[in-house]
Each structure stands twice: as C-alpha cells, then as structure tokens.
Amino acid sequence: MSADHLPTPAFVKAATLAGHLYRMRQTARLMSLSASNAKGVAARAGDKALGFRPITNFIAEMASETILHASRINALALEVSRLSVAALRNRDGEQRFILARESLGDASAQAFLDEQIAQSRTARQDMGRQIQEIMQQLASQLEQIHQALRASGIIVSNSRTEASRAGDFRKYLDSIAASVEAAASDIQGEIVLCRRLIEALSHDDEANHHEQPSA
C-alpha cells in the first residue's frame, strides 16, 4: 500500500488526543496563574478593584475545573492508545494464526489453531468493550470542560468593565482579562479538535475488526 493513502491508526489518534489534552492542561495552568496574579493585583488595588475580586474566584475555579477534567481525559486517552496498540498486536497475531491454519492439513493442529483464533477474538472483543466504555467517559469529561468554560465570555467582559473602574490598576487588570480570554479561546479550540478525534476514534476502533478465515 502506498504510504500516501494509509489511514491514521487508532492508537495514533488516541495519542494525538492525549497530546491536545496535555496542552489544554498547560493552558489551564496559565489561566490559574492569571487568577493568582489577579488576586494579588486586586488586593493591592483595594477599593478600586472591589468588583474584580469575586471575578478572580471565577477564573480560578474555571481553571481548576479544566485542569481536573483534562488530567482525567488525558489518562483515559493514554489508556485508549495503549488498548488500541494491544488490539492491533492481537489482530496481527490472529492473522498469522489464520495463515498457519490455511497451510495445515492436520485436523488436530487445525483445532489447536482454531482455539488460538477464538481466544484472540474473545480477548479483542473485551478490549473493544473497554475502549467503548472509556470513549464514553472521555466524551462526557470533555463536555464538562466545555461547560466550565461557557461562562468565560461573561467573566472576561465583566473583568474589562471592572478594570475600567480600577484607575491606576486598569492596565494590569486589562492584561489579566486579555490572558484569560486568550487561554479560554485556546482551550475552546482544543475542545473542537478533541471532539473531532473522539468522533473519528469511535468509528474505527482496532478491537472490532476481525479477519475472516478462508477455511
């Protein structure tokens, strides 16, 4: 087969997903840092930033929710990648058992290989079930991140309003609002990519492919 027309293996998609989630978590960490900076600035600004203080709590919460769910999905995605590799190796083994069976005339040897083929299928079906289960958890955790970020637009616009009232501290608070906005939009972008990968993965899990014995 020409390398140009090769489909991306499921384990690569799952590892790509884990990579996006890793970056999502790093971005959420930056957001959390912005929240601590904002708290510091709000404390120094005193009365001028009274309205900003509760907003910093929202930012911190949004960041920590994202970190929590992204870490969980990252672990799940790694597990999907590991299981997909195992399923691929299992399937490769099965193909070889089938080839060996085809070249055999001896009935007892065939029975032995039939047993091997059946066992590898059972193991792979089991992997397939595990993958499907994990995929569902993955999708629901991703939605939780999406939910956590839904308020980010309002938080950012409230931050800007409060910043405009903060006198000398305005430029600090404005830059914090800008960094939260950038982080939220990065994470939203990653969510879109992750959804696409999850969708693609749910259509082609390695574990549910079976070779047909020709005998």
Partner 1 sequence: MQSTHLYEKGHRWIAFGRDPRKPSGIIDTNQYLVVDGQRALLMDPGGIEVFSAMLAAVMQLCEVDKISDVFASHQDPDIISSLGLWDQTLPHARLHAPWLWEGFLRHFGLDHMEYHGIPDEGASLTLEHAELQFIPAHYLHASGNYHVYDAEARILMSGDVGAALEADGAPLFVEDFDDHTGKMQFFHQRWMPSNRAKNDWIQRVRSLDIDIMAPQHGRIFRGDDVKRFLDWFEALEVGSAIA
To partner 1, the closest distance from the beta carbon of 77 in angstroms equals 8
To partner 1, the closest distance from the beta carbon of 55 in angstroms equals 32
CA 48 from chain centre, in angstroms, equals 40
CA 180 from chain centre, in angstroms, equals 21
Q: What residue type is 63 in one-letter code?
A: A
Interior/surface letters 177-193, b for 16+ CB within 10 angstroms, e for the rest: bebbbebbebbbebbee
Per 3-state DSSP, what percentage of the chain is helix, strand, and coil (rounded to 5)?
90, 0, 10
Question: Token digits for 189?
Answer: 């972008």
Nearest residue to 173 (alpha-carbon basis) of 51, 9, 14, 41: 41
Question: Which residue reads 């608070």 in tokens?
Answer: 173
How far is 127 from 195, CA to CA, in rounded Å? Answer: 22
Please identify, using beta-carbon distances, which residue of 75 and 151 lies nearer to partner 1.
Answer: 75
Please identify, using beta-carbon distances, which residue of 19 and 51 lies nearer to partner 1.
Answer: 19
In residues, how long is the chain?
215
To partner 1, the closest distance from the beta carbon of 183 in angstroms equals 18
To partner 1, the closest distance from the beta carbon of 18 in angstroms equals 5
Please identify, using beta-carbon distances, which residue of 177 and 207 lies nearer to partner 1.
Answer: 207
Please identify, using beta-carbon distances, which residue of 24 and 148 lies nearer to partner 1.
Answer: 24
Please identify, using beta-carbon distances, which residue of 85 and 200 lies nearer to partner 1.
Answer: 85
Q: What is the contact surface with partner 1 in residues (CB under 8 A)?
A: 1, 3, 6, 9, 11-12, 15-16, 18-19, 22-23, 77-78, 81-82, 85, 88-89, 92
